[in-house]
């Protein structure tokens, strides 16, 4: 589904992402973890076209999408959410989602119908007429997800969708992500909530200082001494 | 087709307005209303890009001037009907608008506004110095040869109806924007361009299309102005004052709404001429001070424009229906 190779990006003298490579297979839930400043979000921005890459390639469904603009990448079926949510503040929740719904149709009613279905799926239907900025953060994160789901992505890059959520909201979101995956969506998620990564992901990539530190199943990762030293900490217990 | 209550009210208002010249035989008031139509057209055209797309241009007078000069020069020098000149001016303004937009549309917030402001200044300088074409600072008079083809009329009634039709165009386009893909995309760009792009919105293209439409209409207003006033002066038609007046009307009335600019045009036109007649004979300039204060007060008290006064009730109902205790302000 997604194959990145030798991706490199520096900001001035700082090498933010250095020759990173990994693959995300069809129907997988892949996790991208690492300490703050490891380059996770930068990597996301490079994959989805927000930042140009200094070197390396991004292949999505066997097509080279390196250097394409974000809107083109999105239309090809590679969707993303933002770590800091970006709702269309003064538009209603329904209108927010409809913007996504127009990705593959020019028809107003079709976009509206699609948006209503997605709102039902993420359980935001009862908020559909309120302006997006009045939603609390947990619902804003769900709105962000609904909006991109409405574009019918094949691969979804989630940038800390669990961040800032209450425990109950985390559980709901995990269930939603699993549902989406079961419906055939491939997912790549940046996440700090390790319990979620452990229960959801079947493949985990660890970044540290812009480089890939380790890669493997959640079990392998938690036993990797380098990962424990750099990120998880001594005595980390995966359960 | 079943008409909603709102549509019936709107059509009734339109019918009443359309009958004004039949009962009102007073050139002063007709002139005032024709001016309101013109302002409503200009503010409405500005509102398409600024209100719906967040592109706060402070140089729209440039496109007004392009329209006025194009049709007038074609008419005076070559005898081309101003109707055709109107189209030519509109197309030229669209082309210039898209080119300027292509260069400046990536600029954010105030930088975009400043670029448009500078552009209008450049147009003034060109119009003043290209004497062979524009007669420079003398301006150009439109010869008084009344006929439909010449878009010059003896009385005011023809201008009234042409103005009425023209000022409806931006309203229809705004209504279209509120129920179409391009309108949703435009509003999404206004709210957050990065997020819009992540959803597949080709933002530059969307903005340029709407810019082409808005500048076309502004230029059409320019031709109408030139034909009605029968004189164009580069220092007025490209002026910052005119650009801000256009913007102000849409802001006061309510940006990003179909009828806001019309309300703004009505209020500002009435307020400024009332104040001029009521206070004009007092200390010189007092009416301008009061006018300025009035605008400041309106912007502070009704930040979303006059139109929001009519929508507030509806919004409250919607919030009560859709919301529960989980809704918090932030």
pLDDT tens digit sequence for A164-186 = 889 999 999 999 999 999 999 99
Whether B135 has its CB under 8 Å from any CB of chain A: the answer is no
Beta strands A63-64 and A78-80, pairing class: unpaired
- Across B111-170, the runs of DSSP E, i.e. the strands, are 140-141
Subunit contact B191:A91, Cβ cutoff 8 A? yes
- Provide block-wise average pLDDT over 10 residues at a time, chain B (330 residues): 80 90 86 94 96 93 96 93 95 96 87 93 92 87 88 90 96 96 96 94 95 97 95 92 92 92 92 82 78 85 84 54 40
Determine which helix (DSSP H) or strand (DSSP E) holds B86, and give its type and residue range. helix B82-104
| pLDDT of res. A238 | 52
Longest CA pairwise span in chain B (Å): 69
Subunit contact B179:A108, Cβ cutoff 8 A? yes
ipTM over 0.85: yes
Q: What is the residue whose two structure tokens read 């597949």?
A: B200
Q: What backbone phi and psi angles, to 5 degrees, belong to A29?
A: -110, 105
Q: What is the residue whose two structure tokens read 């419906």?
A: A183
Whether B202 has its CB under 8 Å from any CB of chain A: the answer is yes
Share of chain A above pLDDT 70, in %: 97
Contacts of A127 in chain B (CB under 8 A): 322-323, 327
Closest listed residue to residue B185, CA positions, set B210, B158, B213? B210
Determine which helix (DSSP H) or strand (DSSP E) holds A188, and give its type and residue range. strand A186-190
Contacts of A115 in chain B (CB under 8 A): none
Residue B285 counted as domain residue: yes
Contacts of A105 in chain B (CB under 8 A): 181
Burial class of residue B168 in the structure, from the number of CB atoms within 10 Å of its CB (0-12 exposed, 13-18 middle, 19+ buried):
middle
Indicate the number of domains in chain B. 1
CA distance B251 to B259: 12
Residue B84 counted as domain residue: yes
Share of chain A above pLDDT 90, in %: 62
Burial class of residue B303 in the structure, from the number of CB atoms within 10 Å of its CB (0-12 exposed, 13-18 middle, 19+ buried):
exposed
Residue B233 counted as domain residue: yes
Question: What is the rounded average pLDDT of the residues A20-34?
Answer: 92
Q: What residues contact residue B274 under an 8 Å CB cut-off, 6+ apart?
A: none
| Least confident interval from A10-19, A59-68, B191-200 | A10-19
Subunit contact B200:A86, Cβ cutoff 8 A? no
| pLDDT of res. A35 | 87
CA distance B268 to B42: 13
Residue B147 counted as domain residue: yes
Interface test mutation site (partner B, options A94, A100, A132, max chain B beta carbons within 10 A): A100
CA distance A147 to A149: 6
Which pLDDT band, with edges at 50, 70 and 90, does A225 fall under?
confident
| Least confident interval from A144-153, A203-212, A225-234, B119-128 | A225-234
Among B184, B195, B326, the residue with its CB nearest the CB of A98 is B184
Among B194, B199, B322, the residue with its CB nearest the CB of A128 is B322
Strand, coil or helix: A21: strand
Subunit contact A151:B181, Cβ cutoff 8 A? no
Q: What residues contact residue B50 under an 8 Å CB cut-off, 6+ apart?
A: B56, B57, B247, B250, B255
Strand, coil or helix: A187: strand
Beta strands A203-208 and A29-33, pairing class: parallel
CA distance B43 to B255: 9
Whether B145 has its CB under 8 Å from any CB of chain A: the answer is no
Subunit contact A102:B321, Cβ cutoff 8 A? no
Inform me whether the pLDDT recorded for A101 exceeds 50.
yes
Nearest CA in chain A to B256: A90
Q: Under a CB-based contact definition with an 8 Å cutoff, are residues B234 and B128 in contact?
A: yes
**What tokens does B319 get?**
């919030």
Among A106, A139, A148, the residue with its CB nearest the CB of B181 is A106
Contacts of B321 in chain A (CB under 8 A): 129
CA dist list (Å): B67 to A239, B94, B163, B211 = 72, 10, 15, 15
Residue A156 per-residue DSSP state: E
Closest listed residue to residue B259, CA positions, set B313, B329, B307, B318? B307
CA distance B76 to B91: 19
Determine which helix (DSSP H) or strand (DSSP E) holds B203, and give its type and residue range. helix B203-229
Architecture label for domain A2-232? 3-Layer(aba) Sandwich (3.40)
Q: B123: how many CB neighbours lie within 10 A of its CB?
A: 22
| Least confident interval from A6-20, A64-78, A92-106, B79-93 | A6-20
CATH number at residue B81: 1.10.3470
Residue B163 counted as domain residue: yes
CA distance B263 to B261: 5
Question: What is the rounded average pLDDT of the residues A66-73?
Answer: 93
Subunit contact A88:B201, Cβ cutoff 8 A? no
Q: Under a CB-based contact definition with an 8 Å cutoff, are residues A204 and A197 in contact?
A: yes
Q: What is the pLDDT of residues A127-160, one digit of tens each?
A: 999 999 999 998 999 999 999 999 999 999 999 9
Whether B329 has its CB under 8 Å from any CB of chain A: the answer is yes
Strand, coil or helix: A153: coil
**The pTM is what?**
0.89
């Amino acid at each position: 589904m997604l194959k990145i190779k030798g991706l490199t990006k520096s900001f001035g003298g700082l090498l933010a992402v250095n020759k990173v490579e990994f693959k995300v297979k069809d129907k997988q839930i892949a996790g991208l973890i690492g300490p703050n400043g490891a380059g996770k979000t930068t990597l996301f921005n490079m994959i989805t076209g927000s930042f140009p890459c200094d070197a390396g390639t991004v292949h999505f469904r066997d097509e080279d999408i390196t250097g394409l603009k974000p809107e083109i990448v999105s239309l090809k079926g590679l969707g993303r959410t933002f770590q800091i949510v970006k709702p269309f503040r003064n538009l209603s929740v329904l209108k927010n989602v409809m913007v996504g719904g127009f990705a593959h149709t020019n028809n107003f009613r079709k976009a509206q119908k699609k948006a209503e279905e997605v709102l039902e799926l993420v359980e935001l239907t009862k908020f559909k007429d309120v302006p997006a900025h009045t939603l609390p953060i947990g619902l804003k994160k769900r709105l962000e997800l609904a909006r991109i789901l409405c574009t019918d992505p094949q691969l979804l890059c989630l940038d800390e969708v669990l961040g800032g959520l209450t425990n109950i909201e985390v559980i709901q979101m995990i269930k939603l992500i699993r549902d989406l995956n079961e419906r055939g969506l491939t997912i790549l998620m940046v996440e700090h909530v390790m319990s979620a990564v452990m229960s959801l992901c079947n493949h985990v990539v660890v970044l540290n200082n812009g480089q890939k530190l380790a890669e493997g199943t959640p079990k392998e990762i938690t036993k990797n001494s380098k990962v424990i030293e750099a990120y998880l900490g001594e005595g980390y217990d995966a359960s | 087709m079943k008409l909603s209550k709102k549509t019936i009210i709107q059509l009734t208002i339109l019918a009443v307005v359309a009958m004004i010249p039949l009962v009102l035989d007073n050139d002063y008031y007709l002139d005032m209303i024709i001016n309101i139509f013109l302002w409503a057209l200009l503010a409405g055209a500005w509102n398409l890009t600024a209100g719906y797309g967040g592109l706060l241009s402070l140089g729209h007078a440039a496109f007004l001037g392009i329209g006025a000069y194009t049709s007038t020069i074609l008419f005076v020098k070559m005898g081309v009907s101003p109707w055709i000149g109107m189209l030519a001016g509109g197309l030229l303004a669209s082309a210039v608008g898209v080119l300027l937009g292509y260069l400046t549309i990536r600029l954010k917030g105030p930088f975009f506004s400043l670029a448009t402001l500078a552009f209008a200044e450049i147009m003034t300088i060109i119009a003043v110095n290209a004497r062979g074409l524009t007669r420079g600072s003398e301006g150009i008079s439109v010869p008084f040869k009344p006929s439909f083809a010449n878009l010059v009329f003896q009385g005011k009634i023809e201008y009234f109806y042409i103005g009425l039709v023209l000022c409806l165009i931006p309203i229809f386009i705004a209504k279209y924007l509120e129920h179409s893909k391009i309108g949703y995309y435009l509003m999404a760009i206004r709210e957050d361009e990065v997020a819009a792009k992540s959803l597949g919105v080709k933002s530059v293209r969307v903005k340029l299309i709407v810019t082409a439409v808005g500048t076309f209409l502004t230029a059409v207003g320019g031709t109408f102005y030139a034909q009605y006033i029968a004189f164009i002066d580069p220092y007025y038609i490209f002026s910052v004052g005119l650009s801000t007046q256009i913007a102000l009307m849409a802001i006061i009335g309510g940006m990003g709404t179909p009828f806001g600019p019309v309300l703004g045009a009505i209020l500002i036109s009435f307020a400024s001429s009332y104040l001029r007649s009521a206070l004009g004979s007092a200390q010189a300039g007092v009416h301008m001070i009061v006018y300025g204060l009035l605008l400041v007060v309106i912007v502070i008290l009704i930040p979303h424009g006059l139109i929001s006064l009519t929508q507030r009730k509806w919004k409250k109902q919607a919030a009560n229906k859709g919301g529960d205790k989980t809704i918090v302000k932030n």
